[in-house]
Amino acid sequence: MRSSVSAAVASVFPPPLSPGYHGAVSDFKRRLIEATLHQMRGNRTHTARALGLQRTYLLRLIRELGVAAPPPPPRHRHGLESTLTPAPR
């Protein structure tokens, strides 16, 4: 009985296939980009430079591969008076 149940389950849920060449390459790219983004603290420009890629191509790969990328850091504007705190008197 147990073997017939196992056979039935195996026929309904076949073992996962290997990702194949292209799937394996995509997985490798995704992991490499994620690791480099982590090392560069989410900075996409530095990540692209470290990987020897154009920044726009890196952004495309992030989108196409579904890379778990942190949101870009906020841009700081230097020289704005609203960011300056008055000196104590």
CB 53 within 8 A of CB 59: no
pLDDT of residue 75: 75
**Residue 84, burial from CB neighbour count under 10 angstroms (0-12, 13-18, 19+):** exposed
| pLDDT of 25 strictly over 90 | yes
The CATH topology of domain 22-68 is Arc Repressor Mutant, subunit A (1.10.10)
| pLDDT of 83 strictly over 60 | no
State how far the Cα of 56 lies from the Cα of 53, in Å rounded to an integer. Answer: 8
CB 47 within 8 A of CB 54: no
Model confidence pLDDT, tens digit, residues 39-81: 999 999 999 999 999 999 999 999 999 998 777 667 777 655 5
Domains of the chain, by residue range, sit at: 22-68
